[in-house]
């Protein structure tokens, strides 16, 4: 029996897909956007990067990695919680190879979405290309470990997909093209169709996870449909992560934070990527006091809390 776990964090979908739950899984495989990108955008021609300080200042070694955080992102914490490496390397990072990717790999690209038009806005990796990289990874893994071991890893790995924010904020609400084609409800349905196709494609490759609230309801219906149609797959849907993040923002002091209304970097009101740089005198000294690192992304501390919740849900579900 395969399992696929689907919480929502704001507009961001997180899918966790596991073939069976054990104390730890053999690998973490990541698809998505800047909420989980561990550095793939460093290697492509795009303005949407974070491979410069102060990004990464609280990461091991204090150096920027391409993660949109002062430290780690949720897949890193989840990987460590399952007894694997304390970080998930980016597939396009030349410092790593298949021996590193055998226990975890990230195909995510900041700025991407379900809609290919979303990835075109800032010239980032579209979701279909992430899937092509995944197919390439499968072949490399088989060549490295042999078919039997590779199949075991691919089947029992935990898959995380964090996606959807940019389709709304960067695409629909910013570029008029989709607004002329779809009402917001029609665009939701369009994205649900793309999400379903994506899950079906990953499944076919041999693996057995206001607008946000409205979209959640539609996603829940799609989950029920796939549970009936895809043999050996069980999908779990919850909005606990969305609720947790909302509570952190609403009552930051309850979670050890002092500031939720602005971000740590620069003025904390709208900056991210190159607008969040080490020359800005307004960047905070202690990011642990802040819920957000830049205007769009959580701090290392917030990511750790959210990842712990995801891990806890998985443990409760599969133990």
**pLDDT at 2 > cutoff 70:** no
Note whether residue 11 is domain-resident: no
CA distances from 237 to 118, 125, 198, 232 (A): 25, 27, 17, 17
Domain-embedded: residue 188: yes
Determine, yes or no, domain membership for 133: yes
| The token pair that represents 51 in the structure block | 């491979």
* Any domain includes 254: no
- Percent of the chain predicted with pLDDT > 90: 59
Would you state the pLDDT for residue 287? Answer: 97
Residue in the structure block whose two tokens are 């079906």: 200
In a domain? residue 285: no
| pLDDT above 70 as % of the chain | 83
Q: Look at phi and psi of residue 28 and say left if phi exceeds 0, alpha if psi is from -120 to 50, else beta.
A: beta
Confidence of residue 200 (pLDDT cuts 50, 70, 90): confident
Residue 212 reports pLDDT greater than 70: no
Radius of gyration of the chain (CA): 18
Residues identified as active-site: 34, 294, 297
pLDDT band at 24; cut points 50, 70, 90: low
* Mean pLDDT (whole number) for 91-109: 97
Identify which of 224-228, 260-264, 271-275 has the greatest average pLDDT: 260-264
* Position 3 in a domain: no
pLDDT (tens digit per residue) in 249-262: 999 999 999 999 99
The answer to whether residue 272 is domain-embedded is: no
Query: Between 310 and 79, where is the model more confident?
Result: 79
Q: What is the mean pLDDT of the chain?
A: 85
Q: Is residue 291 assigned to a domain?
A: no
- Which CATH number does the domain housing residue 93 bear? 3.40.50
Cis peptide before 239 (omega within 30 of 0): no
Residue 272 φ/ψ, nearest 5 degrees = -160, 170
User: Mean pLDDT, to the nearest integer, of 172-177?
Assistant: 90
Structural domain range at position 169: 23-238
According to DSSP, the residues that pair with 31 across neighbouring strands are 161
Q: What's the pLDDT band for 3 if we cut at 50, 70, 90?
A: very low
Mean pLDDT value across residues 25-42: 94
Q: How many domains does the chain have?
A: 1
Sorting pLDDT into bands at 50, 70 and 90, what band is 48?
Answer: very high
Q: Of 14-28, 77-91, 228-242, which range is least confident?
A: 14-28
């Amino acid at each position: 029996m395969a399992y696929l776990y689907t919480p929502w964090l704001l507009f961001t979908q997180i899918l966790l897909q596991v073939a069976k739950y054990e104390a730890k899984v053999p690998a973490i495989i990541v698809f998505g956007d800047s909420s989980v990108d561990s550095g793939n955008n460093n290697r492509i021609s795009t303005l949407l990067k974070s491979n410069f300080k102060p990004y990464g200042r609280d990461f091991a070694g204090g150096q920027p990695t391409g993660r949109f955080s002062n430290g780690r992102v949720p897949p890193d914490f989840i990987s460590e919680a399952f007894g694997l490496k304390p970080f998930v390397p980016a597939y396009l990072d030349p410092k790593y190879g298949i021996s590193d990717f055998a226990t975890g790999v990230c195909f995510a690209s900041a700025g991407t979405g379900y809609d290919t038009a979303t990835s075109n806005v800032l010239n980032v990796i579209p979701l279909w290309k992430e899937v092509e990289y995944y197919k390439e990874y499968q072949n490399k893994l088989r060549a490295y470990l042999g078919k039997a071991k590779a199949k075991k890893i691919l089947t029992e790995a935990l898959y995380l997909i964090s996606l959807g924010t940019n389709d709304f904020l960067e695409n629909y609400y910013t570029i008029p093209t989709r607004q002329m084609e779809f009402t917001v409800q029609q665009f939701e349905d369009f994205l649900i169709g793309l999400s379903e196709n994506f899950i079906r494609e990953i499944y076919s490759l041999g693996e057995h996870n206001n607008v946000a609230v409205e979209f959640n309801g539609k996603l829940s219906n799609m989950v029920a449909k796939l549970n009936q149609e895809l043999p050996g797959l069980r999908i779990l849907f919850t909005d606990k992560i969305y609720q947790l993040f909302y509570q952190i923002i609403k009552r930051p002091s309850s979670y050890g934070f002092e500031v939720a209304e602005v971000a740590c970097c620069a003025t904390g009101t709208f900056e991210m990527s190159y607008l969040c740089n080490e020359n800005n005198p307004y960047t905070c000294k202690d990011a642990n006091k802040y819920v957000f690192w830049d205007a769009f992304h959580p701090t290392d501390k917030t990511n750790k809390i959210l990842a712990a919740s995801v891990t806890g849900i998985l443990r409760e579900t599969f133990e």
